[in-house]
Each structure stands twice: as structure tokens, then as C-alpha cells.
Amino acid sequence: MQSVTASSTEPALAQPAPVRRLLSLDALRGFDMFWIMGGEEIFHVLAKTTGWTWAAVLADQFTHASWNGFRAYDCIFPLFLFLAGVSTPFSLGSRLAKGDDRSLLARKVVTRGLVLVLLGIVYNNGLFERSFADMRYGSVLGRIGLAGMFAQLIYLYVRNERARYAIFAAILLSYWAAMTLIPVPGFGAGNLTMEGNLAGYIDRLLMPGRLHRVIHDPEGLFSTLPAIGTGLLGIFAGSLLRRHNISDGRKLQWLMITGIACLSVGWVWNLVFPVNKNLWTSSFVLVAGGWSLLILSLFYWIIDLKNWRQWAFFFVVIGMNSILIYLAGEVIDFEHAAHYLFSGFLSFFSEPVRALGAVIGFLAVKWLFLYFLYKKKVFLRV
């Protein structure tokens, strides 16, 4: 891991920096990370302090479904993995076109994936807090690292695009078959509860350390398989956007049509294989992927086609250093800084205003930290 300073113009996040950057991609990545770094608290605070119905509805959407089902917040994580896939054809594809060695690129992909796994372990456990037996090894960064790594390796070594589509379908269908047909001792086949599902059983057998929910880990080993499909779906979108023989308008149409198709198939599949983020079910891949495609379509249309860019700067600053801000909260007390800067001013206002102001101040401190790095051209490269 290294910092990229003023001598570099192309930062990277969970993958190599694209040679030709789409501003919509950086803005959407920042929009996604905004909610991860605390933006959802705006609606929770409003709902708690005002009782407004619309705020309560949005606050509910910014919580995870307890098991089966889908809410807006369930799309945040897969959208980030999807976007890592979108940038792959611009980064690896451009290097392949220049004649870079495929095996060398593969080694970089694997190294990057393993570094993210390691960072995820550190993020979960700290550096010196636990024994190896008590550590949690599954993580959000680990899922991005492993699923993104395998999706990129497929991109590197499976050159036929139709073959990649076939692998995508095979991944989703095989995971469905395994989860519904392979029996779990004491529960039988097709049990999709937290206690009896195959993914949790395999993770209890194979994963070291502790699982996030004792008997189940939402970022476990076996459910990484369908997450590769999420990365591949992003690669398909990026491959489309990189093509030069299709008009921008046609690209937009294909993104929207594919997004609607994924949503439709995903919700139909939900009837027999429930949409479930914890299990990262095949239907969840399609529903989250469908929304990811539609959101990407919107950002692509507004920013890259209509050229309405000024509003996106706020999110671009976040998107250019999204991995950094995800990790920084573990070593920088942004909440204390926000309290120090704004508590005196906010003390003159009512409780609802103070609560909302505290959240906005917290987000402002984080954004200003990222803006400082952006102006200095310092970006985290993994």
C-alpha cells in the first residue's frame, strides 16, 4: 500500500486506476461511500427527533433487512463491489491492449485482493486486541478483495465475453443448487434459516476464528462465490461503457434495460430462493445488481452525457479516496473533532437542530479531511 502524491494524476481504490476515467464512476463511488461514512444518520436523527413520517420511512430504508428482504441500505455494499467491477475493463483492459503481460497483471490482482483481506482483518480486530482464535476474519474489505479478485481473474483469462456470461450464470445457478439441494446435518436440504443454511455450516467448518453472528458470518467464505457474480456484473457494465462502436445513448439504453431485467428476474427468483444479503443469494445478486445498473445509468446520463458536473464534486472528493475514509475512522476521532468545532455554536439551538447539526458537522469534518488530501493529490492506492 502506498500514497500517490502530486507526481501522480490517477488514484486508485480497490482496483487499478482507469486510464480513461468516467467522472460518473468516481461520483457514484463517492455517493455510495457517503452513506457508509455516516450519511444515513441524517435520516435516523430526523426520525428520532421530529417524528416526521417521511423521515421515519427513509430511516427504515437505511437499515438492513434482518434476514430475507431488501432495503436501500442493502444495496450500499454490493454497489461498491459492482463499481470495482465497472472500472476493471478500463484499467486491466487498457493494459492488456498495450501488451502488458497477463500473468504479471494477475499477480497484481491477487496481491491487491489479499491486501484488502488483510486490511479487513485489521479493521475488524485492531492490531493487538485479540488472540488469533478470537479474531474475526470475514470482512467487508475481504469480500471486496476476494470476490473482486476472482472476477478480475475471470476477466483476464476468459477472453470470450459470452463465456464470461456463461460463468456468471453458472455461479448463480450452482450456488442456488448447492444451497437448496445439499443437506446440512440436523437440518436437511434447502433450509435457509440462519441456523440451518449451508453457507453458515461450511463457514463454521472451514473459517478460523469467530463468526460475526457466532453461527453465521455475512462475509463468510462460501457466500463469496455469488459475490463474484456481483463483480462480474460490474465488469459487464464497464465493458459496455468502454466499447467504441456503440453510441453513448445506446449504452445508456442497454444499462437501463439490463438493470430492469435483473430486477425482474431477481424478484421472480425470490419466490423460490429469497433475496437475502446475509446469504448473498443469487436473487440478491440480481436485485442489488439491477439497482446498481440503474443508479449507474442515472449518474452516467447526468454527468457524462448531459455534462452536469458541478454538483458531483462533493461526491467525487469522497470517491477518489473511498477506501481511505473507510479505514480512517479507526485511527482518527472525527466525532471528537466535530464536537470540538461545532458544539459551542450548536448549543444555542433546540435539541433536534443540535442532533442534526452534530451529524452534519461530523460529515463535514470527514469531507474536509478528504478535500485536503484531494487538493494535495494524495490518494490511497491498494
Spatial neighbors of 353 by CB under 8 A, at least 6 apart, are 346
15 pLDDT above the threshold of 60: no
Question: Residue 22: which pLDDT band, with cuts at 50, 70 and 90?
Answer: confident
Distance CA 178, CA 65 (A): 23
376 Cβ contact list (under 8 Å, min separation 6)? 5, 6
pLDDT surpasses 50 at 14: no
pLDDT for res 381: 76
Half-sphere exposure of 144 (CA within 13 A, CB side): 27
Quick check: 335 pLDDT over 80?
Answer: yes
105-114, 166-175, 207-216, 217-226: range with lowest mean pLDDT = 207-216
pLDDT at 192 over 70: yes
Taking 80 as the threshold, does the pLDDT of residue 34 lie above it? yes
List, for residues 251-298, the tens digit of each pLDDT value: 999 999 999 999 999 999 999 999 999 999 999 999 999 999 999 999
Residue pLDDT, tens place only, 69-88: 999 999 999 999 999 999 99
| pLDDT at residue 6 tops 90 | no
Q: How many CB atoms lie within 10 A of CB 39?
A: 19
| Pick from 85-94, 99-108, 348-357: least confident | 348-357
3-state class of 207 per DSSP? coil
- The total domain count for the chain is 1
pLDDT level of residue 5 (50, 70, 90 thresholds):
very low
E-only strand ranges, the chain:
2-4, 379-381
- Could you tell me the pLDDT band of residue 127, with boundaries at 50, 70 and 90? low
The residue segments making up the domain with residue 17 are 2-381
pTM to 2 decimal places: 0.90
SS3 letters for 87-131?
HHHHHHHHHHHCCCCHHHHHHHHHHHHHHHHHHHHHHHHCCCCCC
Highest mean pLDDT among 118-132, 279-293, 344-358: 279-293
Contact 142, 116 (CB under 8 A): yes
**pLDDT for the residue 267:** 98
